[in-house]
A = this chain, B = another copy of it.
Amino acid sequence: MAIEEQPFKQLQHYLNSITPIAHKDFKKSRAYFKPTTLQKGEIWIDFHTVCREIAFINRGLLKTSYYDEKGREITSCFCTSNSMASSFKSFLTQRPSQLVIQALEETSLLTIRREKLHELFRKIPIWERLFRIIMEKEYEKLWDYTEGMKTELAKERYQKLLDEQPEVIQKAPVQDIATYLGITRETLSRIRKKTP
């Protein structure tokens, strides 16, 4: 099944970039992940449901959003290829998700359920470390995003997004990018006119 190989190679490469994982450990890990495809517009994790899995993104684009007190939909994250996605708070605490995660284009994932992840922790100890570092990176990412919100201008945040996740700028609706940057779509539209 050569067609099935590639997504796993990609996961292996990602994990290795975090911390070296022995070939045999990776081989044993593979069976815990399930290839999945989401269609454009399909909702992976819905609002108010408990998130029971986490995914590695092979290709595609996910949007994580929520509704604020004023009822506006706010994007909190874009998840792109070669990263982990989940409604982390819900996944960790097994309480209902305040977030919706939706595919903005056809997206291929390798998903793993919470029980299976815990099994990995027990059977293949390097996974404790892998997952801990993955969570630390999530924290770090959130921190950088937060501080950007406080200390940078909208156009600087836009530029940073363009540098770090250019595919988001190309593929996501202006409306969603704007709420991610903490501005209105009109303001984003004006920023774009000046920054080609």
A residues at B contact (CB < 8 Å)? 66, 68-70, 72, 74, 76, 88-89, 92-93, 132, 135-136, 138-140, 142-143, 145-147, 149-151, 179, 182
Decide yes or no: A88 and B139 within 8 Å by CB, A146-B145, A146-B146 being known contacts: yes
Instruction: Say yes or no: B139 contacts A139, CB within 8 Å.
Output: yes
A180 (CB) vs chain B CBs: closest residue: B150
Of A66, A136, A146, A182, chain B has the most CB atoms within 10 Å of the CB of: A146
Contact of A74 among B135, B151, B179 (CB under 8 A): B151
Report the copy number of this chain in the oligomer: 2
Most buried by B among A69, A70, A140, A151: A151
Secondary structure at the A interface, as helix, strand, loop or mixed, is helix
Give the nearest-CB partner of A99 in chain B: B143
Residue of A76, A150, A182 with highest tally of chain B CB at under 10 A: A150
Asked if B140 and A142 sit within 8 Å, CB to CB, the answer is no
Task: Give the distance to chain B from A159, nearest Cβ to Cβ, in Å.
Answer: 13
Give Cα A92–Cα B74 distance, bound, in whole angstroms: 30
Q: Are A149 and B151 also in contact (CB < 8 A) when A92-B136, A136-B89, A143-B142 are?
A: no
Q: Is the CB of A151 within 8 A of B182?
A: yes
CA A54 – CA B129 in complex, angstroms? 20
Give 10 A-B pairs besides A72-B151, A145-B146 with Cβ atoms closer than 8 angstroms: A68-B147, A68-B151, A74-B147, A74-B150, A89-B139, A92-B136, A142-B142, A149-B149, A150-B179, A150-B182
